[in-house]
Structure 1
């Protein structure tokens, strides 16, 4: 059941603005994570995307190590590792080490999508679906492999009549929880079957959330790690002193998502003033898409945003909401900071307190 005010978490894609280097974007993420940690946010998850001009979240394990070291108590995880891009044993090793370094603070969120364009996907997978089969088709097997390898017992393989034991780390004393992520019903069904926590990408898909969560809850088979269904809601959020300001701050990300949906070139994230100039020339045929996204996102004053978050949490039956702070930056913002994103987290937390 939901509480009056759901717990809050953060999803970060590590955006790179036109006035930033990658180093600047990482500094801004460290600062944002410290703000979330100080405000009592439950989790801080980092995405995996490749070869995108506006996104520096290419390696969740490295980002998790950076953020966990820069914070004190918040859980840090992947939202998510795109498992078909990686060898399961490597993922298990990375997250077993992260858990050993920060016991009880690491989450492993796993996705099935590529997180990139077809050419980059080919390079990431070394062009080999080959004799071993398509890694996307083998996703359920890969999930099982990661879960088993991170455990203290590891896995045993028989080769040429001899047994070989594989462990992600020599002596695991704890294991990070594995979450399945998705934007269709595939991962909902798999998470239910395996008895794993599950998150539907509501912030990205915008529809199908209720259906996916219903499939997950109805088909859930309890496991030792997860005795009952466990999920939360993801939302794109910008909170400002006024609704008008919040919508203005969100404009760079709205234009970026419009480009993604219409096949326009992807660019570094514009500053707010740059976005306002571009928005004035958006074709009439695309303005409906902008309006539809704006209505799905939570953009408003603290009171408006808090009411909307509570209502959505109640609608989907969750007690946790993970916000993707989509506020951009104005001209003159320090390159290593994202004050509007930090303000969104602060204002929302205060309004829901």
Structure 2
């Protein structure tokens, strides 16, 4: 079977606090570790009522400490929000603490609204909006600073040795993430592994992967193209149950796509009480068609179909199953069940 991995946004339900959501995420990571999943990545989003994944390095440290063998990483760190040296230092330390288990996935999007983006980049004297245009250089800077030998920094006529951590013996695997041709081209030019955010848009995946593969230039880190895709999944005992559990996430994505106010992820019963307009229901149905929704056999078959269609040997699952009224706030049983059923 195709190698399976996990993407987690650490969703926050209407019955959860942030602490509950983090505990549920840690439980999901332990389940993925026990089930043999390859890697577990956490996203970076800010000021969103339904997402607790605001700080990937902090979450990665907790998840890596709570698991034994699974690779843990960022999907991804939104680099324009951060100084490259800070990112290099964070992930160099994570690699030192958990050697051979850390992935650094980097993205270019803000991961938030314009006001929060301004606060991230300017509120504490941080990086400027120019960081977006400087993104290719910042990627190079992180690679150089995490190198075990460090990098020479020229400043005022003198060269200073700069290391992300004093005595590294290994470096995290660096991935470029994106949902457009830009990141595909950049990853190809730099000879880096690349992941297209298929779970977010569901469109343009084939074109982006074709562009990446056709323009790939071998590098010291990577001799040939390396990629996988991400997909939203809700898998349950029956197809009907899986679709029912997917409704809270589908409604949240509907709000995001149509500019409605965002809120914590509703419970299944709350979603079922909502009456959607015809156009809203059509958008929900269109999104659901691109997700993996069904029973175990259907879900596994769909994963294999996606892997074959896009020529990848790994698929990263964003388990989106919601929760029923009365579910333990510190647990996400439907999401864990999706991982169990897909693992076979």
Q: Which category of TM-score, normalised to the shorter sequence, fits these structures?
A: over 0.9
Is 1:306 matched with 2:309?
Answer: no
Residue 136 of structure 1: SS of its match in structure 2? helix
Instruction: Using the TM superposition, give the Cα deviation of residue 143 of structure 1 relative to its aligned residue in structure 2, in angstroms.
Output: 0.4
Residue 221 of structure 2: SS of its match in structure 1? coil
Where do 1:34-45 residues align within 5 Å?
34-45=30-41
User: What is the rounded CA distance, in whole Å, between the counterparts of 2:206 and 2:103 in structure 1?
Assistant: 24
Is 1:323 matched with 2:317?
Answer: yes
Map Cα deviations across residues 176-201 of structure 1 (whole Å, 9 max, x no partner). 01000000000000000000000000
Is 1:290 matched with 2:271?
Answer: no
Residue 188 of structure 1: SS of its match in structure 2? helix
C-alpha RMSD over aligned residues: 1.3
| 126-135 vs 305-314, which moves further | 126-135
Q: 2:52 aligns with which of 49, 53, 56?
A: 56
- Aligned residue in 2 for 1:69: 65
Map Cα deviations across residues 12-33 of structure 1 (whole Å, 9 max, x no partner). 0000001100000010011000
Map Cα deviations across residues 59-110 of structure 1 (whole Å, 9 max, x no partner). 0000000000000000000000000000000000000000000000000000
TM-score using structure 1 length: 0.96
Q: 1:146 aligns with which of 142, 149, 153?
A: 142
Map Cα deviations across residues 318-341 of structure 1 (whole Å, 9 max, x no partner). 000000000001111101000000
Q: 2:331 aligns with which of 326, 337, 345?
A: 337
Query: 5+ unaligned residues in a row in structure 2: which ranges?
Result: none
Go from structure 1 to structure 2 and tell me whether the alpha carbon gap of 1:129 and 1:137 turns closer, same or farther (over 3 Å shift).
farther
User: What is the rounded CA distance, in whole Å, between the counterparts of 2:318 and 2:264 in structure 1?
Assistant: 18
Instruction: Using the TM superposition, give the Cα deviation of residue 133 of structure 1 relative to its aligned residue in structure 2, in angstroms.
Output: 6.3
Residue 334 of structure 1: SS of its match in structure 2? coil
Instruction: Using the TM superposition, give the Cα deviation of residue 154 of structure 1 relative to its aligned residue in structure 2, in angstroms.
Output: 1.6
Q: Is the 8 A contact 2:83 2:126 kept in 1?
A: no
Q: 1:80 aligns with which of 76, 79, 87?
A: 76
Residue 7 of structure 2: SS of its match in structure 1? strand
Is 1:211 matched with 2:213?
Answer: no
Instruction: Using the TM superposition, give the Cα deviation of residue 160 of structure 1 relative to its aligned residue in structure 2, in angstroms.
Output: 2.1
Where do 1:221-236 residues align within 5 Å?
221-236=217-232
Q: 2:340 aligns with which of 334, 337, 346?
A: 346
Q: Is the 8 A contact 2:9 2:52 kept in 1?
A: yes
Residue 25 of structure 2: SS of its match in structure 1? helix
Go from structure 1 to structure 2 and tell me whether the alpha carbon gap of 1:264 and 1:170 turns closer, same or farther (over 3 Å shift).
same
4+ runs deviating over 4 angstroms: 127-133
Is 1:160 matched with 2:160?
Answer: no
Where do 1:161-310 residues align within 5 Å?
161-278=157-274, 281-310=275-304
Q: Is the 8 A contact 1:129 1:135 kept in 2?
A: no
Go from structure 1 to structure 2 and tell me whether the alpha carbon gap of 1:264 and 1:40 turns closer, same or farther (over 3 Å shift).
same
Query: 5+ unaligned residues in a row in structure 1: which ranges?
Result: none
Is 1:110 matched with 2:97?
Answer: no
Q: Is the 8 A contact 1:183 1:202 kept in 2?
A: yes
Map Cα deviations across residues 97-136 of structure 1 (whole Å, 9 max, x no partner). 0000000000000000000000000000016999976110
Instruction: Using the TM superposition, give the Cα deviation of residue 161 of structure 1 relative to its aligned residue in structure 2, in angstroms.
Output: 1.9
User: What is the rounded CA distance, in whole Å, between the counterparts of 2:125 and 2:96 in structure 1?
Assistant: 32
TM-score using structure 2 length: 0.98
Residue 325 of structure 2: SS of its match in structure 1? coil
Residue 248 of structure 2: SS of its match in structure 1? helix
